[in-house]
């Protein structure tokens, strides 16, 4: 059996050039980042400019009150992938005892009790300070302009607001005032503004106006973010009880001291060698190492079992993902994680042997000597007592593609590479407009990342003050011969690494071009405990694009997979940039699904 050949047609070309490349989930962010490159900025200046634009133009997908993770390599140290850590911890008063006393069984999926300390802005400013070249005012000018003067809104923003309109009007009036100023959601193409957020960004620029050095000026802006208007207004506002996804009103616990006590930072990447390439991910406080575990399991199979377009390959990939993600739930968190053992050849060989001809319907974490695996509640459905009447709560969870394929949005992503070889992949998220009530003075709300923690005792990701929630944000950097060759990522919650895995297999094993890999039919498993409230799972669940083909889908069903057909073009939000280090040719590709992501470059 040979690897499935890619179709000759792609929805758009794989861009090629030698100057610089950008790809992101919104064309305005891509264009802004590329404009920075055109005006002499490097990849890091460009990524930061594009990221702040994403806060403005994709407010249903990310916001300044949220978080981000990145992985990058510099032209000066190309062989050293570095993680940009922009995941804030649980506030000091966010204890499981407090949440249980509030009558909660789960951390809510929306409302300020779900808020970790916002980390995205500080992380972006840290990257700009240490690896960029531009002044803050120039980098933020794009976002300030779109927030102050307006931009034509994409249809999904209005659709998301429509889904939570009743929540806004009945319980979150400050959100209704910002996002429904005429009493209705904005229509596609309508120009919307966020003048309050423009003023917040202006306050950071003003704080950065003094200082002897560029680094001192950016640090002044970081201090303003952590101790000034944002921290004070956030703490005061969320102290007022408001509706949560529990169906009850609770006050938040985050304080100005929580803001002041956090700074973003850098970490060494976690890496794995796969077919002559080095795959670089976050540590196990993110889900990134689960992708590495999946690759390590798959690496022992022949190429034909690594082809997502065949029944045998799709089955093998789905089963490997279930095993790796079960370990994610059992062992990952902001804790002492036995990652070296989980990635070892001996351990992954044992996991590989568990993959049979039939779909597993079980939750199967592995056994690590001396470590008790945490087994989370395996709920197939959950309704809080306060919502026992069956009423839903539209503002919960990381917005992503539903199991039926309906696109309600995603997170965001941006990749940039410049001619010098600087390369960055970053996934900003959280703080989307449906996370919690809008803070009027700021024009944004806090995030809801703490919903990824458990209230059960003894787990590596049990809620604990000062600990980071185990995030789903998981950008990827790929190196070859000690130099970066691909920056890659996708929105999509628990699906992020599942969709990236298909890209990695199709490009490295199957020889696809980046755009061919992004366009190819996608699939993922839902036979895992979800990271988002209400944290349910679907034993044997598999979601596929119909383009996978009737024969393949029927074979998966015969093997016991509970298949949901998601339509032809519904799964995956991938983008990537790449560099051929022998020729210096740069490339970029972006996702056509949703008609929103774009790549640009020359």
Torsion of CA 55, 461, 271, 46, to 10 degrees: 10
pLDDT (0 to 100) of residue 409: 44
Partner residues linked to 35 by β-bridges: none
**Cβ-proximal residues to 398 (8 Å cutoff; 6+ apart), any chain:** 411, 429, 430, 432, 472, 493, 531, 532
Q: Which stretches of the chain score pLDDT less than 50? A: 394-396, 399-409
Q: How far apart are CA 387 and CA 140, in angstroms?
A: 42
pLDDT (0 to 100) of residue 534: 84
Both tokens of residue 452?
A: 């990824």
Both tokens of residue 483?
A: 């130099």
Q: How far apart are CA 314 and CA 308, in angstroms?
A: 5
Beta-carbon count within 10 A of 212 CB:
7
Q: How far apart are CA 473 and CA 476, in angstroms?
A: 10
Residue 371 is classified by DSSP as B
Among all chains, which residue has been given the structure tokens 């506030």? 91
**Cβ-proximal residues to 473 (8 Å cutoff; 6+ apart), any chain:** 67, 68, 69, 87, 282, 286, 411, 427, 428, 429, 496
3-state secondary structure 244-294: CCCCCEECCCCCHHHHHCCCCEEEECEEEEECCEEEEECCCCECHHHHHHH
Beta-carbon count within 10 A of 103 CB:
12
Which helix or strand (DSSP H or E) is residue 16 part of?
strand 15-17
Q: How far apart are CA 45 and CA 214, in angstroms?
A: 13
Contact 110/245 with Cβ under 8 angstroms? yes
Both tokens of residue 460?
A: 């590596």
pLDDT (0 to 100) of residue 402: 40
Beta-carbon count within 10 A of 19 CB:
12
Would residue 370 be called left, alpha or beta, if left means φ above 0 and alpha means ψ between -120 and 50 degrees? left
Residue 407 is classified by DSSP as B
Contact 274/285 with Cβ under 8 angstroms? no
Q: How far apart are CA 381 and CA 390, in angstroms?
A: 12
Among all chains, which residue has been given the structure tokens 């790929």? 478
Among all chains, which residue has been given the structure tokens 């609770």? 250
Contact 225/136 with Cβ under 8 angstroms? no
Q: What is the CA radius of gyration of the chain?
A: 22
Residue 54 is classified by DSSP as H
Q: How far apart are CA 541 and CA 348, in angstroms?
A: 23
Per-residue model confidence as pLDDT tens digits over 288-338: 999 999 999 999 999 999 999 999 999 999 999 999 999 999 999 999 999
Q: Kindly tell me the sign of the dihedral angle through the C-alpha atoms of 183, 186, 187, 192.
A: positive
Contact 87/118 with Cβ under 8 angstroms? no
């Amino acid at each position: 059996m040979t690897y499935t050949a890619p179709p000759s047609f792609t929805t758009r070309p794989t861009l090629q050039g030698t100057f610089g490349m950008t790809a992101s989930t919104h064309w305005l962010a891509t264009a802004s980042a590329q404009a920075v490159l055109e005006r002499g900025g490097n990849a890091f200046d460009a990524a930061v400019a594009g990221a702040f634009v994403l806060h403005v133009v994709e407010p249903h997908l990310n916001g300044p009150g949220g978080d981000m993770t990145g992985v990058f390599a510099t032209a000066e140290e190309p062989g050293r992938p570095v993680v940009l850590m922009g995941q804030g911890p649980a506030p000091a008063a966010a204890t499981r005892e407090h949440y249980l006393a509030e009558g909660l069984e789960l951390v809510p999926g929306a409302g300020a009790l779900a808020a970790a300390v916002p980390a995205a802005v500080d992380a972006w400013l840290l990257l700009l300070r240490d690896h960029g070249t531009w002044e803050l005012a120039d980098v933020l000018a794009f976002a300030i302009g779109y927030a102050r003067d307006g931009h034509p809104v994409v249809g999904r923003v209005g659709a998301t607001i429509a889904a939570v309109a009743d929540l806004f009007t009945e319980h979150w009036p400050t959100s209704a005032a910002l996002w429904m100023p005429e009493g209705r959601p904005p229509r596609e193409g309508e120009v919307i503004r966020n003048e309050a957020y423009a003023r917040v960004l202006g306050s950071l620029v003003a704080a950065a106006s003094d200082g002897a050095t560029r680094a001192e000026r950016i640090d002044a802006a970081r201090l303003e973010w952590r101790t000034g208007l944002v921290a004070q207004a956030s703490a005061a506002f969320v102290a007022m009880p408001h509706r949560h996804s529990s169906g009850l009103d609770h006050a938040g616990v985050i304080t100005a001291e929580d803001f002041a006590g956090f700074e973003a930072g850098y970490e060494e990447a976690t890496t794995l060698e796969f077919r002559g390439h080095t795959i670089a991910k976050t540590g196990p406080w993110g889900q990134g190492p689960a992708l590495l575990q999946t690759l390590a399991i798959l690496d022992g199979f022949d190429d034909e079992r690594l082809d997502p377009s065949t029944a045998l390959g799709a089955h093998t990939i789905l089963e490997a993902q279930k095993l790796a993600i079960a370990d994610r739930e059992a062992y990952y968190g902001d804790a002492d994680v036995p990652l070296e053992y989980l990635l070892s050849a001996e351990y992954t060989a044992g996991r590989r042997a568990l993959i049979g001809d039939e779909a597993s319907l079980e939750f199967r974490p592995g056994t690590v000597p001396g470590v008790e695996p945490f087994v989370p509640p395996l709920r197939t459905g959950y309704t809080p007592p306060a919502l026992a009447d069956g009423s839903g709560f539209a503002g919960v969870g990381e917005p992503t593609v539903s199991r039926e394929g309906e696109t309600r949005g995603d997170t965001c992503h941006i990749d940039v590479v410049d001619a010098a070889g600087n390369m960055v992949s970053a996934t900003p998220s959280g703080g989307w407009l449906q996370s919690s009530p809008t803070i009027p003075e700021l024009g944004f709300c806090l995030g809801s990342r703490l919903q990824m923690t458990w209230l059960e005792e003894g787990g590596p990701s049990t809620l604990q003050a000062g600990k980071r929630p185990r995030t789903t944000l998981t950008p990827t950097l790929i190196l070859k011969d000690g130099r970066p060759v691909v920056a890659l990522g996708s929105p999509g919650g628990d699906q992020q690494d599942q969709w990236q895995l298909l890209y990695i297999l199709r490009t490295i094993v199957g020889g696809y071009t980046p755009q061919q890999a992004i366009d190819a039919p996608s699939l993922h498993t839902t036979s895992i405990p979800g990271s988002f409230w209400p944290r349910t799972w679907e034993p044997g669940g598999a979601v596929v694009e119909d383009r996978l083909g009737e024969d393949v889908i029927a074979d998966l069903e015969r093997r016991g997979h509970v298949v949901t057909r998601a339509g032809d073009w519904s799964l995956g939000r991938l983008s990537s940039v790449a560099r051929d280090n022998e020729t210096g040719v740069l490339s970029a590709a972006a996702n056509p699904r949703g008609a929103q992501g774009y790549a640009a470059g020359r």
